Amino acid sequence: MPTILCFGDSNTWGCIPIDSDAPGRRHPPDVRWTGVLRRELGDGWWVAEEGLNGRTTVFDDPLEPYRNGRELLPPALVTHHPVDVVVLMLGTNDLKHRFDAEPHEIAAGAGALLEIVRTSAAGPDQRAPRSLLVCPAPVGRLERFAADFVGATEKSRELASHYAQVAAAHGAAFLDAGQHIRSSDVDGIHLDAEAHEALGRAIAAAVQAMWISTSSATPPSTV
């Protein structure tokens, strides 16, 4: 049974868009895009969730420790070994004003994670897993997080082109989430249930295309 490791931030964890009355609530497992991915792929696949609120690609956050994706990805690969496909969706938290990172630098951080996967022996038979790099959807209307994400809206719209280049350079598949979903206007950062549904379907299609194009094995059942 192929294993897919979904490595991301609060939008992989499933955080419901935050308003002042209900901070930090989580979508149910079957609503989260990872749950939609599991449903769409069927019983022939195993989907491992590794979402963490506030996770960055490579930045240490002085206000939220233990969020550096570069430090956390290797143990996640070991934990879920053997991993056939790694789905990486990070970069939104890198847009925080305190990191002062430009779009190409954020994409380079994503590339550093792809390199960790590419040079690992975390796949079957000690091979490297395949990777799907997902560029997060652009930041929406900011109110609650406006102070933390000064200038993020404009930068977020530039990420996709840089991510596509980084994915190609590391031999990874690429998906631009912004072509399928938009961030909720409740907080400008997180995804509502409808967006999770659409994203899960899009990622499932991308994973199936990867599997068919690179594997001589019969694709796992989708029923």
Give me the long-range contacts of 126-129 (CB less than 8 A, separation at least 24).
Answer: 129/5, 129/77, 129/83, 129/84, 129/85, 129/86
Integer Cα distance of 167 and 190 in angstroms: 24
Question: Could you read off the pLDDT of 127-172 as tens digits, one per residue?
Answer: 999 999 999 999 999 888 889 999 999 999 999 999 999 999 999 9
Q: How confident is the model at residue 223 (pLDDT cuts 50, 70, 90)?
A: very low
In the block, tokens 């499933």 appear at: 14
DSSP string across 115-181: HHHHT---SGGGPPPEEEEEEPPPP---STTTTTTTTHHHHHTTHHHHHHHHHHHTT-EEEEGGGT-
CATH 3.90.380.10 fits 3-214, yes or no: no
Q: What average pLDDT does the segment 166-193 reach?
A: 96
| Residue predicted with more confidence, 23 or 33 | 33
How far apart are the two ends of the chain, measured CA to CA in Å?
14
pLDDT of res. 22: 59
Q: Regarding beta strands 173-176 and 46-51, do their DSSP bridges make them parallel or antiparallel, or are they unpaired? A: unpaired
pLDDT of res. 219: 54
Mapped onto helix, strand or coil, the DSSP state of residue 56 is: strand
- Angstrom CA distances, 81 to 15, 25, 124, 203, 212, stand at 26, 30, 8, 21, 22
Integer Cα distance of 170 and 173 in angstroms: 9
pLDDT of res. 67: 98
Other residues' Cβ atoms within 10 Å of the Cβ of residue 19: 13
CB 101 within 8 A of CB 94: yes
Taking the whole predicted model, whether its pTM rises above 0.75 is answered as yes
